[in-house]
Structure 1
Amino acid sequence: MSKNSLVSKAFAAAFAVLTISSIAGIVTMVILYKTQISTMNPTPRPTFPSTTTGLPPVMRLPKNLVPERYKVLLWPHFYTRIIEEVNVTSPNQTALFTGNTTVFFHCVQSTSTIYLHSQDLEVFGGSVVNIDKNERIPVIQTVNHKDQTDFLEIQLDNALETGGNYSLYLAFSGELSDNLLGMYSSTYEEDTPGHEDDRDIDRFLVATAMEPTYARRVFPCFDEPDFKAEFEVTIIHRKHTRALANGINTDGSNIIDNEWLSTAFQPTPLMSTYLFAFTVSEFTATPSSGGRVEINTYARPEATQAGHTKYAAEITRKILDFFEARFGIAYPQKKLDQIALPDSQSLGMENLGLITYLEWGLLYEEGVSSLLHKEEIALLIAHELAHQWFGNLVTMKWWNDIWLNEGFATYMSIFAVDAVEPDFQSREVYILDNLHSAFEADALASSCPLSTSQEDVQTNSQITGVFNTITYSKGAAVLVMLADIVDKPVFDKAIRRYLSDWKYKNTDQNILWEYIQKADDENDGSTNVAEVMDTWTKQIGYPLITINTTSGEGFQKHFLFNDSAVSSLSWYVPIKVMKETNQISSIMLKPGDSGNKDAFLSTKGEWILVNVNCTGYYRVNYNPENWERLLTQLQTDPSRIPLMNRGQLVDDAFNLARAKVVDVNLALNLTRFIRDETELVPWESTIRNLEYFVRMFDRSEVYGPMQMYLRNQVEPLYDSFSNYTDNSTVPTGHSSQTNQINAIEVACSNGLPKCIKMAQNKYANLMIINSTNNIHPNLRSVIYCQAVAHGGKEEWEFAWDMFLTSYDVSERGRLLKALSCTKKIWLLSRYLDYTLDPDLIRLMDVSSVIRYVSKNVAGQALAWNFIRAHWEYVSQGNVAGLIEVVTSRFSTQFELGELERFEMDYDLGPAFRTVYQAIEQTRVNIQWISENKDVVLHWFEAETA
């Protein structure tokens, strides 16, 4: 929503005062405050040592008060549609919300000051009651700290007594945020054919995004994850709208007057404030059939009516059933709502009982959405449903252990999708994708551990910063490794016990290790789980295992791209070895060990392979003789090497070359076998690694012969799909469908004439026919991009017109990317300027557009200049991901200098670590290019001579 449609802050404050008094009768009617705390409590309340705390910590709330239950009333005053009347200069829309909250809490240590959180709220009328004695305690002063703490300090006339039970009532007002955080407004256009003048009508809704520290923007609360409580919520909303919240609504909505309804929800189970959620909209539901849990999937009415929520509704039931069986614990509520929002900061958020998604992550349109889009929807839903156990039911004590939420959800989602959609055959691809993403981020000295001390994660920016690739991808990768170490059945048994014993409580990784240790001991295991796993979670990075198959020795060393960095870190490394004879053995390489000579020794000149099926989180280097044997095997009969390892050998070799551990020629030689390879995993790994070479050399003379080589290598793969591609059809099997897209993208972007002609012809036909799109949905993204890249103004503006007029979220997503593919700098510049207008490019899409433009060599400098010129605006989105992508091509001293000045001159917020890593990576790139450019150029010239 544009700012000129919002009421001013001054007006909001004045209106709030009037509103608080005017709704007193309504509030009394809607919420009846009880005078004692409910005895229904799923878990015992925690106790704390009775030591003198004095003032609260700098950033953390004191633990002397423990919230148990909230009664919250929220009243967003927005309109779902703008009503413009004659002689009215301003539209009717408002951004104001008002409300009140009563929090019931227990005092574990006497204090005369209550501390909780409140941010950007006007707070009124503090009232404290001793519930045990039914006595009111006078409030002397209420102070809202205008600093990073966001503390709301309430000073009392009398001290609260240890062991006493109290309630705190507060009224408040605020404004809907304009950055998709806290409580915010979202807009969409209702498709209304036949409407007067064929105009589409703007619709408005309200949604929430509380993770990690934004609940305090909506109501005063103890906004830390280990302050779990029940939430009993009432929403006042306009007629013709529906309110959804975490809890169950069993009584419908009560009429307040001709304009307003009141919807009350049953108390939730114990949960953290970051999981609090509600929406108010005119959306409609698609129910999921069968089952104990009532599942409803909400979306825009026209999307629901068209069946775009059908796949999500079907797959959600299957995934929920899978997790209930896998964990042996029922989903803790009788209802599960999920809603597809037009605007959201994240693709999905796991709020208990009300999961929110960006529309793209939930809606699937048959005949328009890519078949591969189903995979992405299923994986996202599985991730958010896994959180109902990992995060919602059992929650980390503090944000320093957020990997216990995100790592587990990422890990479990892979196996859920593999179980409910086996035809996708996606498990190996997703495991390797997580592994390689983590490897890339974790090979820098500026990386971060999975689990750090609580003291290192205090400010809101520090908390937001831990939501990174390490948390998600490395978290999942080390869980894959741990399950392999103790055996998967043992791991699964431990996880079921862990979830059962700690439901509705808060844990840390040490508690997890205890449960896995106990299950391993019962299985006669010999692993010291905490000792082994602490080396993976409390340290940055990962090891490079160097194997000498002649002597049988194996050593480990911290793998870093920067060869000048000094590190003495070491790990307990689970080694799985496969010999050419198919013999497989497993050993644990301990810090200081030199390996097992029998396991690593090559006999009769046969090759050995380490890290079979890529279950270990480490890279492997061999003596030159073993590398040659493996290379020969790949070129003669690659099927002898497990599929995942064919991809991993390429990834290891390229990254060892980047770290100057092996000669770059070795990595490039490994790409020769890919010409005859048809499987997805090796191709994905090859493309991913050659992208680094493209970024480093696409502004130099290396790029010409490199393109020619890639064109030659991909041509057989492209030809194998040509019958499908030319006829706009796709093969069966999602792996083949993905590889078809890979073949087109690599072939066209490297100038294969028949590929470019194909893309141009299909796009030209679309431009002529206009109303009929005969391009298969799977192929639209890559064909749109390549046609725009090899076209001009006409092709770009046709794509822009399609973007503006399309209502399908999949199609809009494809076009958003395709528009960045043009090589015309002036068009890219215009596209970036469009991101400053939220009526053209939604705020949530701004960072995506800039990232897409920066990946285009013609747009990289434009994107870098643009984010610096408009930092305040663009940094409202995924700023860490934005910096990572925009700086990924930096490889000159000039670019390094600009990046260092950027670090000094700008408020980086949660992107601070990403900028440090970008500086380190740029230095590595500069040195690597200076040492390898001539070698790489010579290799590509020799291969294409």
Structure 2
Amino acid sequence: MFRRLTACLGVHSSSSQPREAVTASSAKRSLEYPTASPSQASSSRTSFSERTMCMHNHSGAAGGSVTAAREILPATVKPTHYRVELTPDLVGFEFKGVVDVSLKVNEKITTIVCNANELKIQSATVTSVHMKTENTQPATKITLDEKAETVTFEFANAIEAGATATLHIEYTGIHNDKMAGFYRSSYTKDGEKKHMVVTQFEATDCRRALPSWDEPNLKATFDVVLNIEKNFTALSNMNAVEEKDVEIDGKSLKAVKFATTPIMSTYLLAFAVGDLEYIETTSSAKAPADAVPVTVRVYTLPGQKEQGRFALEVCARVLEFFSEYFDVAYPLPKMDLIAIPDFSAGAMENWGLVTYREIYLLYDEKNSTAKVKEGIAYVVGHELAHQWFGNLVTMDWWSELWLNEGFATFVGWMATDHLFPEWKIWTSFITADYSQGKELDALRSSHPIEVEVQSPSEIIQIFDAISYSKGASVIRMLNSYLGTDTFKIGIRAYLQKHKFQNATTLDLWAALGAASGRDVAKFMLPWTRDTGYPLVTVLDERFDEAKGEMTLKLKQSRFLSSGETTAQEDATGTVWWVPLVITTHLAPRKATDHILSEKEASITFPYSKAEGAFWKLNFDTTGFYRVRLNEEQLRSLATLIKANPKALSNEDKLGVLGDAFALAFSGHGSTTAALELIKAFEAEEDYIVLKEISTKLDSMIDAWYKEDKEVTNGLKAIKRQIFSGKAKAMGFEYPVGEDHLSGLKRTLVIEAAAHADDAEIVKALQERFVKFIAGDESALPPNLRAIAYSTVLAYSTKPQEDFDAVMKIYRTAATPDQKVFALVSLGAVNDQALVDRLMNEIVLDTEVVRSNEVPMVIRGMTSNNPELVRVRALVWPFLLKNWDLLIERYKASLGLMGGLIQLAIQPQVGQEILDTVENWRAGKDLKSDEEKAKRAEDIKAISRRIDQAVEFVRGKTAWVNREREHVAEWVKKSSA
């Protein structure tokens, strides 16, 4: 599942027909799907007599042991096959369901327990066969446990161990509007509100659509039948094999039957029903030998299908690439991609039916941006990677979610690079996933990559930058160390051995260890089982001229953004295996490998003191660690960069910038030294490096927003020095045939100059906006529209008129990305009455702004508004005032609620917000224990997000307090 909702979009803020009958080739393949064998049926489960709540020991932070009780089902039975028949209702929104579950009975029982949530069970019977004797009996009692999300069926007669059984359940459920389970999504067609229904089951919401054993290692096969209106299209994981007319409750419908799925986890089951259209192509991998052509389709609402053309082409090529790279054929006969208007995540990897938020699938060559095109390519690659990592081989339990998400993130970048090498996407990786993983993992409130989780409320909280971004970064580091060919051999072996099964992190390390001949588990376990990552400090450097060698004395310790590592932690904390990889002027594009596997060690490498001499640890910023240089060493690199911008690779420049500012934030380094480093990049021309420079300056402007305007104005002046000349030289026109990175650079430098208050750039954007809303679309190329909208609103002299114009763009935009850009830009409006209206009317009205779009509005307000002091102080009270409404709206999509909380807290600075949040969490404004208990329950599933936001604010506050005078003095001197 893809959850990073703005990183691939370039959101500008500072900081149908039924499938044909099954073909001969696909019919042959469907017969080859593995089914749940008896050995698999009992895999990874213990008996009911041993537990009803499984106890596990798992390594936690700093290598500690955590004993935890997972909320899992009794192992008395194991499902092997489901037959699901659903009759959706797109008017009354109550669907009917019938499910027959084939079970292997492990123990003598009189009760059967499975998961169910917000379902009404009407009846249940079980038919068991033991010793050739068949017995059918109804449930004598059916008990729903709302809190545990289970249903218990009791039977009069015992079912013997070793029996097989079929549990038949009839029930009804709700097509909710919470973007979870089998839910409804709305859209407008010809002025009339319409609906489609679709599923989102990961992590634990299959139970909202059917009674099920809703755990990742309880795999089974599925037969699906959907009874739908005759003018609608029905989709599921597999291809439709039969359609026939049926009459249900007096209504004439069509029943669409789908082929049997491979054995898979419940969270991957999917359905979609509605008025849909599609475009189609074929993907034909050249390897492995058993690969067969795969039908690829993109489904959309009416009138949008051509916007799916780019994603369709990418999908076909990525399927071919992965089949050949993994040497494992994609095992289904088709791959459908579908765009959903209301969708809580970015996309979801359901096997054979991948669901997407519209902005991650739909691209219009005339109206969409280059950054959106890049984002779609990556997200399609990420979700298709899951068809192998997650679907074919699934983590055994959610504690190893990173096996799904870390790998999908890594190979998603790999696929994008394979298709579009000219984009130099791996350089972007450093400013995206690599940096995001480091930022989160530098907090005490972080968690290990492998983290024990027990309940749905805990599971949802690890869909974060640790599982995704740190996971991908650690894999990238290991891939570099082992070598790409060795790594590929190991990955192929892992997939072959565990396909159609569940696997663990140790299984992965074993495969890579066998391929490399190294004890991969030994040196990688601290990276996945311990929280944090190392800071490598250069304690001393000594040059031996006679030998032509440099010796560095190094020390490793945990890096915390607070800088508050204790002496005891330093002495007894994790010792990571750190691949140092050094580059020097003697061989700038080559590296010398060294391993730091102790607290302190010295390393020696060839060196000379020639003009332009340099050394740099962490070549190409591949290792997941920080490097701490002293100020003299940092100044030396700054001098090198200024004198010879090509001396370091772009990846190494990003590493130097990232380390310098992270160390300044933590107090391990000097902020003014980091700013001097920035000034060394005035001649920089690379898009990604320039983007990182803009980001670093924005992070300071953002943190200093309450301080003297002379400081933030001085920082903006530095931005203008770097970006304004470039913006004016490149201009506002995007030539036909301009390469991808040049177009992105043009957009970046104009945006950076505008955000830095360059009067000439601001005026040009205002003039072009006037022409654009008057009907001249050429006045604002798609790549500049978001910048223009926010700039115009921030500097407007007629805010109501401009606000209405941008709001009209949001309502009428031809593409999803242009709608989003308009929506985010609204937050920049400089009229505070309109800011209040934006929050109190528009955000709360789901008829105006979709629930999944609300975080974008708040992001725009807390990032772009020219009156940040006032606006940032408004958002938290607004959330509290509307808490009951919002928690009800997002109770099934708590990832969105957690995002809102972070957007309200994290942009702020100062003790006041910290105290306010602490008092609120403690319930000091509440009178009764019942109220306090309810609040605690409300925030349980977002508690980690709150912890992280609070810690980040605390770090920013300490940074500003510590560096206030130094930065003010430096800005004053720099402006003189």
Aligned residue for 1:539? Answer: 530
Against the structure 1 CA distance between its residues 936 and 353, is the aligned structure 2 distance closer, same or farther, given a 3 Å change threshold?
same
Whether 2:836 is the aligned partner of 1:847: answer: no
Match of 2:780 among 744, 769, 775: 775
Against the structure 1 CA distance between its residues 276 and 602, is the aligned structure 2 distance closer, same or farther, given a 3 Å change threshold?
farther
Whether 2:136 is the aligned partner of 1:136: answer: yes
Structure-2 separation of matches of 1:696 and 1:412: 34
Structure-2 separation of matches of 1:119 and 1:50: 25
Aligned residue for 1:653? Answer: 660
- The DSSP-based 3-state class of the residue aligned with 1:308 is helix
Match of 2:275 among 279, 282, 285: 282
Structure-2 separation of matches of 1:607 and 1:624: 15
Aligned residue for 1:228? Answer: 219
Structure-2 separation of matches of 1:770 and 1:903: 50
Against the structure 1 CA distance between its residues 289 and 624, is the aligned structure 2 distance closer, same or farther, given a 3 Å change threshold?
same
Structure-1 separation of matches of 2:436 and 2:397: 25
- Pairwise CA distance, 1:126: 1.3
Against the structure 1 CA distance between its residues 336 and 732, is the aligned structure 2 distance closer, same or farther, given a 3 Å change threshold?
same
Structure-2 separation of matches of 1:872 and 1:469: 28
- Pairwise CA distance, 1:534: 0.9
Match of 2:731 among 725, 742, 745: 725
Aligned residue for 2:765? Answer: 759
Aligned residue for 2:926? Answer: none
**Partners of 1:718 and 1:740 within 8 A in 2:** no
Structure-2 separation of matches of 1:178 and 1:709: 45
**Partners of 1:854 and 1:860 within 8 A in 2:** yes
Against the structure 1 CA distance between its residues 479 and 614, is the aligned structure 2 distance closer, same or farther, given a 3 Å change threshold?
same
Aligned residue for 1:302? Answer: 303
- Pairwise CA distance, 1:182: 0.5
- Pairwise CA distance, 1:765: 1.5
Q: What CA deviation, in whole Å up to 9, does each residue of 1:227-268 have, x standing for no partner?
A: 000010111111200110112212234343763111111110
**Partners of 2:268 and 2:391 within 8 A in 1:** yes
- The DSSP-based 3-state class of the residue aligned with 2:394 is strand
**Partners of 2:177 and 2:185 within 8 A in 1:** no
Whether 2:64 is the aligned partner of 1:68: answer: no
- The DSSP-based 3-state class of the residue aligned with 2:126 is strand
Aligned residue for 2:201? Answer: 210
- Pairwise CA distance, 1:99: 0.9
Structure-2 separation of matches of 1:785 and 1:238: 44
Q: What CA deviation, in whole Å up to 9, does each residue of 1:652-674 have, x standing for no partner?
A: 00110111111222111100122
Aligned residue for 1:353? Answer: 352
Q: What CA deviation, in whole Å up to 9, does each residue of 1:287-344 have, x standing for no partner?
A: 014530111110012112xx21111111110111111111111111101111111111
Against the structure 1 CA distance between its residues 867 and 773, is the aligned structure 2 distance closer, same or farther, given a 3 Å change threshold?
farther
- The DSSP-based 3-state class of the residue aligned with 2:98 is strand
- Pairwise CA distance, 1:499: 0.6
Structure-2 separation of matches of 1:853 and 1:600: 51
Match of 1:259 among 252, 257, 264: 252
Whether 2:449 is the aligned partner of 1:458: answer: no
Match of 2:908 among 890, 905, 911: 890
Whether 2:709 is the aligned partner of 1:710: answer: no
Structure-2 separation of matches of 1:113 and 1:600: 74
Aligned residue for 1:445? Answer: 444
Farther off after superposition, 567-576 or 849-858? 849-858
How many residues matched?
874
Whether 2:952 is the aligned partner of 1:921: answer: yes
Q: What CA deviation, in whole Å up to 9, does each residue of 1:4-33 have, x standing for no partner?
A: xxxxxxxxxxxxxxxxxxxxxxxxxxxxxx
Q: 1:145 corresponds to which letter in structure 2?
A: D
- The DSSP-based 3-state class of the residue aligned with 1:309 is helix
Whether 2:50 is the aligned partner of 1:53: answer: yes
Q: What CA deviation, in whole Å up to 9, does each residue of 1:641-661 have, x standing for no partner?
A: 111111110110011011111
Aligned residue for 2:676? Answer: 669
- Pairwise CA distance, 1:807: 4.0
For residues 32-47 of structure 1, the aligned pairs below 5 Å read 41=35, 44-47=39-42
Aligned residue for 2:5? Answer: none
Q: 2:655 corresponds to which letter in structure 1?
A: Q
**Partners of 2:448 and 2:528 within 8 A in 1:** yes
Match of 1:268 among 243, 246, 261: 261
- Pairwise CA distance, 1:718: 3.5
Structure-2 separation of matches of 1:327 and 1:826: 56
Aligned residue for 1:20? Answer: none
- The DSSP-based 3-state class of the residue aligned with 2:680 is helix
Whether 2:683 is the aligned partner of 1:686: answer: no
TM-score (norm 2): 0.86
Structure-2 separation of matches of 1:268 and 1:333: 8
Against the structure 1 CA distance between its residues 661 and 174, is the aligned structure 2 distance closer, same or farther, given a 3 Å change threshold?
same
Q: 2:297 corresponds to which letter in structure 1?
A: N
> What is the percentage of aligned positions where both structures have the same residue?
27
Structure-2 separation of matches of 1:124 and 1:603: 83
Against the structure 1 CA distance between its residues 343 and 766, is the aligned structure 2 distance closer, same or farther, given a 3 Å change threshold?
same
Aligned residue for 2:555? Answer: 555
Structure-2 separation of matches of 1:158 and 1:308: 58
- The DSSP-based 3-state class of the residue aligned with 2:140 is strand
**Partners of 2:48 and 2:75 within 8 A in 1:** no
Aligned residue for 2:107? Answer: 109
- Pairwise CA distance, 1:771: 6.4
Structure-1 separation of matches of 2:903 and 2:256: 44
- Pairwise CA distance, 1:709: 4.2
- The DSSP-based 3-state class of the residue aligned with 1:156 is strand
Aligned residue for 2:873? Answer: 861
Match of 1:471 among 444, 460, 467: 467
Q: 2:301 corresponds to which letter in structure 1?
A: R
For residues 584-623 of structure 1, the aligned pairs below 5 Å read 584-598=591-605, 606-623=613-630
**Partners of 2:106 and 2:162 within 8 A in 1:** yes
Unaligned stretches of 5+ residues in structure 2: 1-30, 55-68, 285-292, 543-550, 924-934
- The DSSP-based 3-state class of the residue aligned with 1:549 is strand
- Pairwise CA distance, 1:716: 5.2
- Pairwise CA distance, 1:164: 1.5
Match of 1:480 among 447, 458, 476: 476
Structure-2 separation of matches of 1:896 and 1:601: 51
Match of 1:903 among 911, 918, 921: 921
- Pairwise CA distance, 1:64: 2.4
Farther off after superposition, 875-884 or 363-372? 875-884
Structure-1 separation of matches of 2:46 and 2:354: 37
- The DSSP-based 3-state class of the residue aligned with 1:187 is strand
**Partners of 2:645 and 2:683 within 8 A in 1:** no
Whether 2:622 is the aligned partner of 1:629: answer: no
Match of 1:933 among 951, 958, 964: 964
Aligned residue for 2:64? Answer: none
Aligned residue for 1:89? Answer: none
Aligned residue for 1:241? Answer: 232
Q: 1:797 corresponds to which letter in structure 2?
A: D
Larger RCO, structures 1/2 (Cα 8 Å, 6+ apart): 2
Against the structure 1 CA distance between its residues 223 and 881, is the aligned structure 2 distance closer, same or farther, given a 3 Å change threshold?
same
Structure-2 separation of matches of 1:432 and 1:752: 25
- Pairwise CA distance, 1:903: 2.5
- Pairwise CA distance, 1:629: 1.8
Q: 2:859 corresponds to which letter in structure 1?
A: R
Q: What CA deviation, in whole Å up to 9, does each residue of 1:754-775 have, x standing for no partner?
A: 11111111112123x2364531
- Pairwise CA distance, 1:146: 2.5
Aligned residue for 2:883? Answer: 871
Structure-2 separation of matches of 1:144 and 1:599: 71
- The DSSP-based 3-state class of the residue aligned with 2:154 is strand
Q: 1:242 corresponds to which letter in structure 2?
A: T
Structure-2 separation of matches of 1:564 and 1:427: 32
Against the structure 1 CA distance between its residues 676 and 714, is the aligned structure 2 distance closer, same or farther, given a 3 Å change threshold?
farther
Structure-1 separation of matches of 2:424 and 2:940: 39
Structure-2 separation of matches of 1:882 and 1:808: 25
- Pairwise CA distance, 1:95: 1.4
Q: 1:667 corresponds to which letter in structure 2?
A: A
Structure-1 separation of matches of 2:643 and 2:599: 37
- Pairwise CA distance, 1:717: 3.6
**Partners of 2:765 and 2:791 within 8 A in 1:** yes
Structure-2 separation of matches of 1:432 and 1:491: 24
- Pairwise CA distance, 1:70: 0.2
What do you get for the CA RMSD once the two structures are aligned?
2.2
Farther off after superposition, 590-599 or 331-340? 590-599
Structure-2 separation of matches of 1:462 and 1:620: 33
**Partners of 1:113 and 1:153 within 8 A in 2:** yes
- Pairwise CA distance, 1:733: 2.5
